[in-house]
């Protein structure tokens, strides 16, 4: 059995030339990357879906989840990510305060959220793992 791709030409199945196969594969990869970019830019979770996912996946413990839900405190992983932000930005704003406020009172969590991406990087989570996280917890 051949590993080459085939195509229909005048009703006949013929093997694609090596160059055609390479071009087809490159176009397929580019199309998949574009689909992922669109999916990632529009993926979101409610705050409760996000907290459940983080807890069930072991990113935060149950006590941290409950405290975060009641807006009493942020989990250590979130505080660690916020601590990596500058206290004062060139424009005079306070990125740490802004991140803490958004973390304590979010309405939705976007897949592109900077704090989420920082937490994922600190955890060693891949983009594909984050994609799966959003797909799974968007359904609860």
Nearest alpha carbon to residue 36 among 108, 119, 127? 127
- pTM, full prediction: 0.63
The H-or-E segment that residue 14 falls in is: strand 12-15
Rounded distance, CA 100 to CA 110, Å? 16
Rounded distance, CA 2 to CA 41, Å? 39
Instruction: Kindly state the tokens that stand for 46.
Output: 């409610």
Q: Residues near 100 by Cβ (< 8 Å), separated by ≥ 6?
A: 74, 82
- Name residues of the chain where pLDDT drops below 50: 1
């Amino acid at each position: 059995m051949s590993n080459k791709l085939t195509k229909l030409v005048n009703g006949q199945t013929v093997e694609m030339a090596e160059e055609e196969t390479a071009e087809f594969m490159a176009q397929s990869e580019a199309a998949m990357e574009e689909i992922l970019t669109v999916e990632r830019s529009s993926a979101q979770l409610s705050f409760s879906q996000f907290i459940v996912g983080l807890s069930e996946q072991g990113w935060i413990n149950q006590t941290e989840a409950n405290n975060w839900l009641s807006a009493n405190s942020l989990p250590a992983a979130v505080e660690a990510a916020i601590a990596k932000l500058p206290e004062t930005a060139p424009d005079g704003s306070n990125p740490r305060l802004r991140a803490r406020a958004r973390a304590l009172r979010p309405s939705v969590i976007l897949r592109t959220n900077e704090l989420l991406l920082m937490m994922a990087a600190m955890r060693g989570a891949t983009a594909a793992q984050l994609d799966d996280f959003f797909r799974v917890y968007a359904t609860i």
